[in-house]
Structure 1
Amino acid sequence: MTMTRNILFSALALLLAACAIPAKSIKLYRLTPLADNPVETSTSMVVAVERLQAPAALDTPRIALTCYAIDFDYFAGPEWVDNAPAMLQRLIIESLDGSNGMVAIDAHGTTAIPDERLRLDLRTFQAEYGKDREAPTAHVRLSVKRLDPKTMAILDSRTFDARIPASANTQRAIVEAFNSATTEVLDNLRNFATLKTP
């Protein structure tokens, strides 16, 4: 009876010890907005940025990768700080706000009437490995439409595409390639958003 009791106590102690071991934390990564580009102007344009539309496979904090044209997967450990569309929307707002007198706001949850709306479609946001399986290329592709907020008519539209090879097949190098590709897309988007519509 005493031996059975000791075994039970030992098992309970092991269980409690296991519960006290913290789970392995997930490494989180974020991307950076464009640097400020202030321009002195007497007028300002309010632009409402909609949440990015994206396929379900990209609407996640997991970092996507492909090895072949028909394959799609995710890295096992690292993740973005938020779902990719939400993270990129914040980056776009931060990058546009204050640029060339522009005021950028979230299109949802506001009663302000903007001068324009931006509708964005995230087409590609993944690390692409070639046949050699060495360091991948970060690929970001974003479709943008400028809309009249009163009629929702399309004023202009563009698609921006950037591919940046990672310097090594490591988490940090791959995320840095994502950051560079995203910066290129954001820069083109900011130039497009500040153009006068036809």
Structure 2
Amino acid sequence: MSLRLSPVILLMILPLAGCSALSALGAASTPLEVFELRALAPEQPARRTRDVEVVVEEPVATGALATERIMIRPAPLSAQYLPGVRWADPAPAMLQTMLLRSLAETGAFNSVGRGPVGTRADYAVLGELTDFQAEVAEGQGAQVRVRLMLRIVREGDARVTARRTFESVAPAADTDAATIVDAFDAALRSMLADMVPWILDRV
């Protein structure tokens, strides 16, 4: 036996389906609040500029980290993203920009960029991003963890001249988006304060 709907019932159902579709479309088009982090301003510019060109490559990262969404881990093996917010750029690109600007602000090098000015640069800074998330702690707070493995490569002979893993952790009083972003900012600025002089000493 086939079920047939009367024209009156169909006229009642169609507007409801349309409202549902419009509601879903409206939710999908709601703009996300955008956050960006600050580069590190040097306490004192370099006394002299070295005739050296440095390229900062975009760090590699897994798919879960290579996104503009802000990751939060409620458990060690669980990854979620804060709703309604995002970074201005995917995390690896944002880190590249922050490190590049922080190095450029020192005035220590003739050129710092994403690519060489000529055929090749003198040194390249390569990274691998392994942690970039907020981890829910006991109670209502969280802590932000950032971990980046860096290598300095001399372009002339492709030799790795230095390598080091940098890690920084900063507490967040709660899991509110603004609080989490402030903790990311604190963790990254602390890590940049270690990375920049390390690179300056080895290039």
1:107 to 109, 115, 119: 115
1:73-109: CA deviations, max 9, x gaps? 211221111111011111111010141522311037x
One-letter amino acid of the structure 2 residue matched with residue 178 of structure 1: F
- Offset, 1:125: 0.1
1:44-81: CA deviations, max 9, x gaps? 32211111111111000011111222112211221111
1:53 to 60, 65, 68: 60
Aligned 1:31-180 pairs, distance under 5 A: 31-36=37-42, 37-102=44-109, 103-107=111-115, 110-130=117-137, 132-180=138-186
Structure 1 outlier segments of 4+, above 4 Å: 18-22
Q: With the length of structure 2 as denominator, give the TM-score of the two structures.
A: 0.81
Gaps of 5+ in 1: none
Rounded to whole Å, the distance in 2 between the matches of 1:42 and 1:74 is 42
Q: Are residues 66 and 133 of structure 1, via their aligned partners in 2, closer, same or farther at CA, if it must alter by over 3 Å? A: farther
Identity of aligned residues (%): 24
Q: With the length of structure 1 as denominator, give the TM-score of the two structures.
A: 0.83
Partners of 1:100 and 1:194 within 8 A in 2: no
Partners of 1:61 and 1:81 within 8 A in 2: yes
Gaps of 5+ in 2: 1-7
> RMSD of the TM alignment (CA)?
2.6
- Offset, 1:179: 0.5
What is the number of equivalent residue pairs in this alignment?
188
